[in-house]
Amino acid sequence: MNTLEPLLAKHPFFQGLESEYLKLITGCASNIRMNAGEFLFREGEDADRFFVIREGSVKLELFSGGRGPVTIQTIPEGEIVGYSWLFPPYRWVFSGRAVTPVRLFVFDGLCLRGKCDDDPKLGYELMKRFSHVMMGRLQASRVQLLDLYQVR
Amino acid sequence: MTAVMQARLPAPARLRDPMLPSLYRLERLQWDTRDTFSMDLLPQNGADMPAFKPGQFNMVYVYGVGEIPISISGDPGRRDVLIHTTRAVGTVTRAMSEMKVGDTLGIRGPFGTAWPVDAVRKHDVVIIAGGIGLAPLRPAMYRILATREHFGRVVLLYGARTPGDVLYRRELKQWRSEFDLDVFVTVDRATGSWRGSVGLVTQLIGRAPFDPLNTVAMVCGPEVMMRFTTLELEKRGIDRNNIYISFERNMKCGVGLCGHCQFGSVFVCKEGPVLRYSQMQHLLSKWEI
Amino acid sequence: MRAKNGKVSTRAVIDRQDFQQLFDHLSAQGYQLVGPRLRDNAIVYDELSAVTDLPIGYVDEQEKGSYRLTKTAQPTLFGYGLGPQSWKKYLFPPVVRLWQAQRHNGGFDVIPEDHEPRLLALIGVRPCELKAIAIQDRVFMGGAYADPIYQAQREQLFIVAVNCGKAGATCFCTSMDAGPRAASGYDLALTEILEANRHIFLVDAGSEKGEAVLRTIPQRPATDLDIAAGERIIAQTAEQMGRVLDTNRIKEMLYANYEHARWDQVAARCLMCGNCTQVCPTCFCTTVEDVTDLSAATAERRRVWDTCFSLDFSYIVGGSVRASPKARYRQWMMHKLATWIDQFGSSGCVGCGRCITWCPVGIDITEEARAIRSDSEDKRFTPATGGRKHEHA
In this predicted model, what pLDDT tens digit does every residue of B49-85 receive, in sequence order? Answer: 999 999 999 999 999 999 999 999 999 999 999 999 9
| C346/B contact by beta carbon, under 8 A | no
| A37/B contact by beta carbon, under 8 A | no
Chain C contact set for B63 (CB, 8 A)? 101, 103, 108, 292, 296, 299
User: pLDDT at position C138, please?
Assistant: 97
Inspect the interface and report whether the beta carbons of B222 and A139 lie closer than 8 Å.
Answer: no
In this complex, the residue of A78, A140, A150 whose CB is nearest that of residue B202 is A140
Nearest CA in chain C to B257: C140
| Å between A83 CA and nearest CA of chain C | 37
Q: How far apart are CA C72 and CA C70, in angstroms?
A: 6
In DSSP notation, B76-98 reads TT--S-EEEEEES-SHHHHHHHT
| A73/B contact by beta carbon, under 8 A | yes
Chain B neighbours, 3+ Cβ pairs < 8 A: A, C
Average pLDDT of every residue of chain A: 93
Q: How far apart are CA C61 and CA C79, in angstroms?
A: 11
Q: Is the pLDDT of residue B9 over 60?
A: no
Chain C contact set for B260 (CB, 8 A)? 285, 287, 306, 313-314
| B203/A contact by beta carbon, under 8 A | yes
| Å between A142 CA and nearest CA of chain C | 18
| B193/A contact by beta carbon, under 8 A | no
User: pLDDT at position C10, please?
Assistant: 63
Nearest CA in chain B to C254: B264
Neighbours of B25 (CB within 10 A): 17
Q: Are C233 and C191 in contact (CB under 8 A)?
A: yes
| Å between B66 CA and nearest CA of chain A | 20
Residue among A75, A60, A94 at smallest CA distance from A12:
A75
Chain C contact set for B248 (CB, 8 A)? 316-317
- The pTM of the full predicted model, rounded to 2 decimals, is 0.92
| Å between A78 CA and nearest CA of chain B | 7
Q: Are B112 and B255 in contact (CB under 8 A)?
A: no
| Å between B160 CA and nearest CA of chain A | 7
| A151/C contact by beta carbon, under 8 A | yes
In DSSP notation, chain A reads -TTHHHHHHHSGGGTT--HHHHHHHHTTEEEEEE-TT-EEE-TTSB--EEEEEEES-EEEEEEETTTEEEEEEEE-TT-EE--GGGSTT-B-SSEEEESS-EEEEEEEHHHHHHHHHH-HHHHHHHHHHHHHHHHHHHHHHHHHHT-TTS--
Q: How far apart are CA C181 and CA C235, in angstroms?
A: 9
Q: How far apart are CA B222 and CA B130, in angstroms?
A: 7
User: pLDDT at position C69, please?
Assistant: 97
In DSSP notation, C120-152 reads EEEEEE-HHHHHHHHHHHHHHHSSSS--HHHHH
| A77/B contact by beta carbon, under 8 A | yes
**Which domains are seen in chain B, by residue range?**
22-111 (2.40.30.10), 118-284 (3.40.50.80)
| Å between C318 CA and nearest CA of chain A | 5
Nearest CA in chain C to B282: C255
**pLDDT over 70, % of chain B:** 94
User: pLDDT at position C384, please?
Assistant: 58
| Å between B97 CA and nearest CA of chain C | 15
- Provide the number of CB pairs (under 8 Å) joining chain B to chain C: 152
Inspect the interface and report whether the beta carbons of C145 and B20 lie closer than 8 Å.
Answer: no
Inspect the interface and report whether the beta carbons of B199 and A57 lie closer than 8 Å.
Answer: no
Chain B contact set for A141 (CB, 8 A)? 200
What interface predicted TM-score (ipTM) does this complex get?
0.92
Q: Are B186 and B234 in contact (CB under 8 A)?
A: no
| Å between A17 CA and nearest CA of chain B | 19
Inspect the interface and report whether the beta carbons of A140 and B159 lie closer than 8 Å.
Answer: no
pLDDT in tens, chain C (393 residues): 444 444 444 699 999 999 999 999 999 999 999 999 999 999 999 999 999 999 999 999 999 999 999 999 999 999 999 999 999 999 999 999 999 999 998 799 999 998 899 999 999 999 999 999 999 999 999 999 999 999 999 999 999 999 999 999 999 999 999 999 999 999 999 999 999 899 999 999 999 999 999 999 999 999 999 999 999 999 999 999 999 999 999 999 999 999 999 999 999 999 999 999 999 999 999 999 999 999 989 999 999 999 999 999 999 988 999 999 999 999 999 999 999 999 999 999 999 999 999 999 999 999 999 999 998 867 778 775 544 444 443
Chain A contact set for C317 (CB, 8 A)? 151
At B115-161, the pLDDT tens digits run 999 999 999 999 999 999 999 999 999 999 999 999 999 999 999 99
Inspect the interface and report whether the beta carbons of A148 and B35 lie closer than 8 Å.
Answer: no
Inspect the interface and report whether the beta carbons of B63 and C139 lie closer than 8 Å.
Answer: no
Q: Are A94 and A69 in contact (CB under 8 A)?
A: no
Inspect the interface and report whether the beta carbons of B288 and C327 lie closer than 8 Å.
Answer: yes
Q: How far apart are CA B33 and CA C277, in angstroms?
A: 42
Inspect the interface and report whether the beta carbons of C156 and B103 lie closer than 8 Å.
Answer: no
Inspect the interface and report whether the beta carbons of B255 and C98 lie closer than 8 Å.
Answer: no
DSSP 8-state assignment for residue C246 = -
**Helix runs in chain C, H state only:** 19-28, 88-91, 127-141, 148-154, 208-216, 224-240, 250-255, 261-269, 275-279, 325-334, 340-344, 354-357, 365-374
| C317/A contact by beta carbon, under 8 A | yes
Neighbours of A16 (CB within 10 A): 8
Q: How far apart are CA B272 and CA C2, in angstroms?
A: 41
Chain A neighbours, 3+ Cβ pairs < 8 A: B, C
User: pLDDT at position A152, please?
Assistant: 65
User: pLDDT at position B12, please?
Assistant: 43
Q: How far apart are CA C356 and CA C350, in angstroms?
A: 13
Pick the CATH number of A32-109+117-145 from 3.40.50.720, 1.10.10.10, 2.40.70.10, 2.60.120.10: 2.60.120.10
Residue among C393, C56, C383 at smallest CA distance from C249:
C383
Chain B contact set for A77 (CB, 8 A)? 207
Inspect the interface and report whether the beta carbons of B255 and C303 lie closer than 8 Å.
Answer: no
Which residues of chain A register pLDDT less than 70?
1-2, 152
User: pLDDT at position C111, please?
Assistant: 95
Which 3 state secondary structure label does DSSP give C342? helix
Nearest CA in chain C to B93: C317
Q: Is the pLDDT of residue B7 over 60?
A: no
Task: Look at B113 and C393; give whichever has higher pLDDT.
Answer: B113
Chain A contact set for C318 (CB, 8 A)? 151-152
Q: Strand locations in C49-182, DSSP E?
A: 58-63, 66-71, 95-104, 107-112, 120-125, 157-162
**pLDDT over 90, % of chain B:** 88
Which 3 state secondary structure label does DSSP give B261? coil
In DSSP notation, B180-231 reads S-EEEEEESS--TT--SEES-GGGGTTT-S--GGGEEEEEES-HHHHHHHHH
Q: Are C320 and B287 in contact (CB under 8 A)?
A: no
Neighbours of A120 (CB within 10 A): 10
Interface of C with A in 206-225 (CB under 8 A): none
Inspect the interface and report whether the beta carbons of A144 and B224 lie closer than 8 Å.
Answer: no
